[in-house]
Structure 1
Amino acid sequence: MIHFVLLISRQGKVRLTKWYSPYSQKERTKVIRELSGLILTRGPKLCNFVEWRGYKVVYKRYASLYFCMCIDEDDNELEVLEIIHHFVEILDRYFGSVCELDLIFNFHKAYYILDELLIAGEPQESSKKTVARLIAAQDALVEAAKEQASSLSTIIAQATK
């Protein structure tokens, strides 16, 4: 089971967090500070697994971001590395060569993609095509809602003249 997902920049800024286990806000802040210090200081030639507090933290650096997932000690690290890579591939497909700014300005879409991949810390969908189709359907719903809201505001503006 995945306990949490963190995306941390090389400067130590948190870009995305998703918690699947209950942590208080104080514990979350401590976990983020502790793990970012631990992961950011590791050399690039060291392995991508860290034992931490009876768990394993699996991380992978893509460009300027570290994608980190905390799992149980007996879970398969290579499977989690594959989940991270799968998430990055879908982000790449959606944003077209994803970068840190895409995640900063479109964080809600990154969360939606992550929610399509993982539910309650367990892998949900392994097909990139299915996830892409679901994201396109969500985007179509958002656009339809925006158009409807725009037309309603136009009607209201005309009625109040």
Structure 2
Amino acid sequence: MIKFLLMVNKQGQTRLSKYYEKVDIGKRPALEADVVKGCLSRKKEQCSFVEYKDFKLVYRQYAALFIVVGISDTENELSIYELVHNFVEVLDKYFGHVIMFNLDKVHIILDEMIQNGHIVETNRNRILAPLLALDKMAEAH
């Protein structure tokens, strides 16, 4: 199960966080700081899968952006690694490049891909269909 997804810049600032498992709001900043510090301090040659407390971290770097996913021990790391890449490709297809504006739309994309901590959709066209429909409605007004 996916516990959370973070998008973080190279300075370690969280740009987007999405939690699928309850984490007290007061404990999130410390968790995010610890997770980000652990991933950003790793060398590029090192594996993108990290054991962390009672779960695993899967992360990928895209230019100055890191995407970190916390998963349960039973989740397949490679499928999550590919999910992250697919997520970035969907963002690229919709925005033209991965940008950190319109976070509401990024959340919509995530909600189409992941529900209750489980991957529900990977097809880019189906993921983007609701957003494109919203865009068409907005243009009509």
TM-score range, shorter chain: over 0.9
**What residue is the counterpart of 1:157 in the other structure?**
none
Structure 2 counterpart SS, 1:108 = helix
Q: Over residues 70-121 of structure 1, what are the superposed CA-to-partner deviations in whole Å (9 max), with x where a residue is unaligned? A: 11112110000011011000000001122xxx21x21111111111111111
**What residue is the counterpart of 2:11 in the other structure?**
11
More helix per residue: 1
- CA–CA distance in structure 2, aligned partners of residues 74 and 20 of structure 1: 16
Residue in structure 2 matching 1:110, options 96, 106, 119:
106
Residue in structure 1 matching 2:137, options 136, 141, 144:
141
The structure that has the greater radius of gyration is: 1
The answer to whether 1:49 aligns with 2:45 is: no
Percent of aligned pairs with the same amino acid: 36
**What residue is the counterpart of 2:128 in the other structure?**
132
**What residue is the counterpart of 1:23 in the other structure?**
23
Structure 2: where are the runs of 5+ without partners?
A: none
Structure 1 counterpart SS, 2:86 = helix
TM-score using structure 1 length: 0.83
**What residue is the counterpart of 1:92 in the other structure?**
92
Structure 2 counterpart SS, 1:47 = coil
The Cα shift of 1:143 comes to 4.2
Q: Aligned AA for 1:117?
A: M
Q: Over residues 30-85 of structure 1, what are the superposed CA-to-partner deviations in whole Å (9 max), with x where a residue is unaligned? A: 11010111111111110001100110000000111111111111211000001101
- CA–CA distance in structure 2, aligned partners of residues 113 and 94 of structure 1: 10
- CA–CA distance in structure 1, aligned partners of residues 15 and 139 of structure 2: 25
- CA–CA distance in structure 1, aligned partners of residues 137 and 22 of structure 2: 31
The answer to whether 1:122 aligns with 2:113 is: no
- CA–CA distance in structure 2, aligned partners of residues 132 and 20 of structure 1: 21
- CA–CA distance in structure 2, aligned partners of residues 142 and 25 of structure 1: 34
- CA–CA distance in structure 2, aligned partners of residues 132 and 72 of structure 1: 27
Structure 2 counterpart SS, 1:15 = strand
4+ runs deviating over 6 angstroms: none
- CA–CA distance in structure 1, aligned partners of residues 137 and 54 of structure 2: 43
